[in-house]
Amino acid sequence: MLKTGSLGIVGATGAAGSKILEILQEENIKPSDLRLFASEKSAGKQITFADKIYEVENLQTADFKGLNTIFFAAGSSISKDYALKAVSCGAAVIDNSSAYRADPKVPLVVPEINFNEVNASTRLIANPNCSTIQLVMAIAPLHRINPVKRLVVTTMQSVSGTGFKGVEELKKQVSQTLKGVYPEPEIYPHVIAFNLIPEIDAFNPETDMFKEEEKIIFETNKILASDIKISATAVRVPVYSSHSESVNLQFEKPFSADEARYVLSNAEGISVIDAPRNSLYPTPLDCAGSNKVFVGRIRDDLSAPNSLNMWVVSDNLRKGAAWNAVQIYMRLISSGYTS
Amino acid sequence: MLKTGSLGIVGATGAAGSKILEILQEENIKPSDLRLFASEKSAGKQITFADKIYEVENLQTADFKGLNTIFFAAGSSISKDYALKAVSCGAAVIDNSSAYRADPKVPLVVPEINFNEVNASTRLIANPNCSTIQLVMAIAPLHRINPVKRLVVTTMQSVSGTGFKGVEELKKQVSQTLKGVYPEPEIYPHVIAFNLIPEIDAFNPETDMFKEEEKIIFETNKILASDIKISATAVRVPVYSSHSESVNLQFEKPFSADEARYVLSNAEGISVIDAPRNSLYPTPLDCAGSNKVFVGRIRDDLSAPNSLNMWVVSDNLRKGAAWNAVQIYMRLISSGYTS
């Protein structure tokens, strides 16, 4: 059991906030006080945590005073409106949203990679984007030995990345399709059941990319190295949980698939499943519910010098969001940076 | 209406064979005689074509004499056993399977690209793999102007590529999942409902690739140019129809996205749908049922010199199989190479 100080969770009723609560319980973390915040609509809801019932507070009228640490898990605009207020009330803030990721003063942290960017005076830490976290987890151990020069990634992202409403939309559309009813898209721009949508987040006409693609590029550069050249394509797929990524890597020097497999097998937080002749490789269904990042299909790519392909899968709500945030929390506590 | 000579279809009751019959009727092609062949199990079945009923013959005991042209659409082992027999009976054979694609004496044909490899003495023509056809269709018009040096492709392939049994497996597993029953995989090595499987066709331990990936590389090199360097990852996705491909291209010289869009917009058999700011790009659901190859998300890739990304979608049973085969048939007839 880990006893901690007072803890707040903003967006406690959403997909990421609920997953933070679930993981805190799994890890047997016991805050001295727990306060849950959400929109006015969800205020008053009761949530059970470690056999105690907590009432959700209205974020708009909430007071953060006395909280040692606050998770923000309610999207970018909420973080922009409230995260600095939380910091000024003295809390350490772990922000799941994209609001401060680009801020050069805010560390963008994957604990296995760059917790050293955090120090005692850090009050605001950004949690990277889900698809970035699993990508950098899988390449950082290789990059440390032999720098990555270029990477081409295609992500296949599950609907839980859009929150509970994405999951509901897929479920509803699939059952309509089975009944012979053509579904009407509500959350996504097209039908997602039995379909693929190469659009995630807002479009940026200046770069001709969707923001999810920009995030993968920008955040990977910020976390690992600014000189890695990156091409990213993000696709929404009819899968409930876990994002999958097809990754092509070009290194500075030769890197054999065997060597990469060995390095990744010994890396913290990574699980290598790679025996394709026996149909063993990670699939999103199998990886859902785990905190690890799974890598398989590691193989030499003869199409360019010093190149490898691999297939990376991870539960987007766990290592891609809540687990990474809770790991940051645990490291802040063990470092004495919060209580 | 196009009146042709006597025509045979081997594998007439399968997914590709049925689609050939459907397309022959759409194109108003009227063979003087039509003979349908399948396994002993399907022999005796009745199939209606252009208001006439045909009885399926047992392939094992069949005699191909008198047939001008025969489509083979029953898989590689059937083609290996019977295609040369058909040729020796005087028929021109269009083979949908992979049996003869690697044979240097057998042209591997996408009519818009390389029908010039066929001549009056050609008796056996191989129809390329579904994922190859849409890929080469989308890059050939660009490659002619500015040679492709390297391409990295991730395919997301629908279950109809596995035939009717793939479609049934997805449908069954999805309805089981909705009822809370965990499905038992039968056709695929893992559950395909709400999942992704990075395995298509047999594994080759020598290359560490699945054969679908090898086919994409080998066939693209055979059709377009042997010196294009290719990395391919093939993924089965829970989509009924149409394959989708995320393609990264590196050219010899600079190629702007605008120029590529213009070239592809004017290419035969291609439809460009590319207004991502309005969520317009091809999706597999929208492209199913069309004979075209759809291209969108054409954009500059700044991660390597002279590079572009694009997203290519096509109905795998149509341009990826039956339509390409029927196009070959129509060209053979208009060239006087068969009747």
Strands A203-204 and A209-210: antiparallel
Contacts of A170 (CB under 8 A, 6+ apart): A159, A192, A193, A238, A240, B194
Q: Which residue does chain A place closest to B172, by CA atoms? A: A178
The structural domains of chain B, with segments of one domain joined by +, span 2-128+321-334, 132-316
Cα–Cα distance between A322 and A173 in angstroms, integer? Answer: 27
- Cβ B303–A150 below 8 Å, yes or no? yes
Specify the amino acid at residue A77. S
In the annotation, is A143 catalytic? no
Candidates A195, A213, A241, partner chain B, best to mutate (most B CBs within 10 A): A195
Nearest Cα neighbor of B279 from B244, B311, B255 is B311
Q: Which residue does chain A place closest to B199, by CA atoms? A: A279
The pLDDT of residue A100 is 98
Tell me how many degrees the CA angle A98-A103-A108 measures, rounded to the nearest 5.
65
Q: Which residue has the tokens 């559950």?
A: B191
Query: For residue A263, what is the enclosing H or E element?
Result: helix A257-265
Q: Which of A150, A156, A174 shows the shortest C-beta gap to B174? A: A174
Cα–Cα distance between B38 and A308 in angstroms, integer? Answer: 43
Cα A253 → chain centroid: 30
- Cβ B231–A195 below 8 Å, yes or no? no
Specify the amino acid at residue B153. V
For residues B157 and B234, the answer to whether their CB atoms sit within 8 Å is yes
DSSP string, A128-170: PPHHHHHHHHHHHHHHHHS-EEEEEEEEEE-GGGG-HHHHHHH
B2-128+321-334 folds as Rossmann fold (3.40.50)
Q: Which residue does chain B place closest to A248, by CA atoms? A: B152
Sequential pLDDT tens for chain B (339 residues): 899 999 999 999 999 999 999 999 999 999 999 999 999 999 999 999 999 999 999 999 999 999 999 999 999 999 999 999 999 999 999 999 999 999 999 999 999 999 999 999 999 999 999 999 999 999 999 999 999 999 999 999 999 999 999 999 999 999 999 999 999 999 999 999 999 999 999 999 999 999 999 999 999 999 999 999 999 999 999 999 999 999 999 999 999 999 999 999 999 999 999 999 999 999 999 999 999 999 999 999 999 999 999 999 999 999 999 999 999 999 999 999 999
Cα–Cα distance between B56 and A177 in angstroms, integer? Answer: 33
The CATH superfamily holding the domain B132-316 is Dihydrodipicolinate Reductase; domain 2 (3.30.360.10)
Tell me how many degrees the CA angle B18-B19-B24 measures, rounded to the nearest 5.
100
For residues A281 and A309, the answer to whether their CB atoms sit within 8 Å is no
Mean pLDDT value of segment A330-338: 97
Q: Which residue does chain A place closest to B296, by CA atoms? A: A198
**What's the farthest any 2 CA atoms get from each other in chain B?**
59
Cα dist from A124 to A109, A131, B255, whole Å: 11, 21, 43
The pLDDT of residue B216 is 98
For residues A210 and A234, the answer to whether their CB atoms sit within 8 Å is yes
In the annotation, is B130 catalytic? yes
The pLDDT of residue A63 is 92
For residues A86 and A64, the answer to whether their CB atoms sit within 8 Å is yes
- Cβ A196–B309 below 8 Å, yes or no? no
Taking contacts as CB-CB distances below 8 angstroms, the residues of chain B near A202 are none
- Cβ A246–B235 below 8 Å, yes or no? yes
Cα–Cα distance between B232 and B57 in angstroms, integer? Answer: 39
For residues A139 and A151, the answer to whether their CB atoms sit within 8 Å is yes
- Cβ A196–B239 below 8 Å, yes or no? yes
Cα–Cα distance between B243 and B245 in angstroms, integer? Answer: 7
Taking contacts as CB-CB distances below 8 angstroms, the residues of chain B near A189 are 279
A38, A41, A45, A48: CA torsion to nearest 10: -40
The model carries a pTM of 0.97
Cα–Cα distance between B298 and A86 in angstroms, integer? Answer: 43
Candidates B231, B259, B302, B307, partner chain A, best to mutate (most A CBs within 10 A): B231
Cα–Cα distance between B113 and B116 in angstroms, integer? Answer: 8
Q: Which two tokens stand for residue B125?
A: 């023509």
For residues A156 and A245, the answer to whether their CB atoms sit within 8 Å is yes
Cα dist from B117 to A255, B100, B107, B122, B222, whole Å: 40, 15, 6, 9, 11
Given the residues A89, A190, A243, A287, the one annotated as active site? A243
Query: For residue B164, what is the enclosing H or E element?
Result: helix B164-178
Strands B46-49 and A92-95: unpaired
In angstroms, how far is the first alpha carbon of chain B from the final one? 14
Nearest Cα neighbor of B176 from A215, A330, A178, A316 is A178
Contacts of B121 (CB under 8 A, 6+ apart): none
How close does chain B come to A230, measured CA to CA in Å? 5
Name the phi and psi angles at A46, rounded to 5: -110, 135
- Cβ B299–A199 below 8 Å, yes or no? no
For residues B74 and B110, the answer to whether their CB atoms sit within 8 Å is no
Cα–Cα distance between B207 and A302 in angstroms, integer? Answer: 10
Query: For residue A284, what is the enclosing H or E element?
Result: helix A284-287
Nearest Cα neighbor of A178 from B179, B73, B202 is B179
Q: Which of A152, A235, A303 shows the shortest C-beta gap to B229? A: A303
Cα–Cα distance between A142 and A295 in angstroms, integer? Answer: 12
The pLDDT of residue A225 is 97
- Cβ B231–A309 below 8 Å, yes or no? yes
Cα–Cα distance between A131 and A216 in angstroms, integer? Answer: 7
How many C-beta atoms surround the C-beta of residue B62 within 10 A?
Answer: 19
Cα–Cα distance between A292 and A42 in angstroms, integer? Answer: 31
How close does chain B come to A156, measured CA to CA in Å? 9
Nearest Cα neighbor of B306 from B272, B257, B264 is B257
For residues B243 and B158, the answer to whether their CB atoms sit within 8 Å is yes
Q: Which two tokens stand for residue B231?
A: 């990395």
Question: How high does pLDDT run on average in chain A?
Answer: 97
Q: Reduced to 3 states, what is the DSSP secondary structure of residue B6?
A: strand
How close does chain A come to B250, measured CA to CA in Å? 11
Query: For residue B312, what is the enclosing H or E element?
Result: strand B307-314
DSSP A259: H
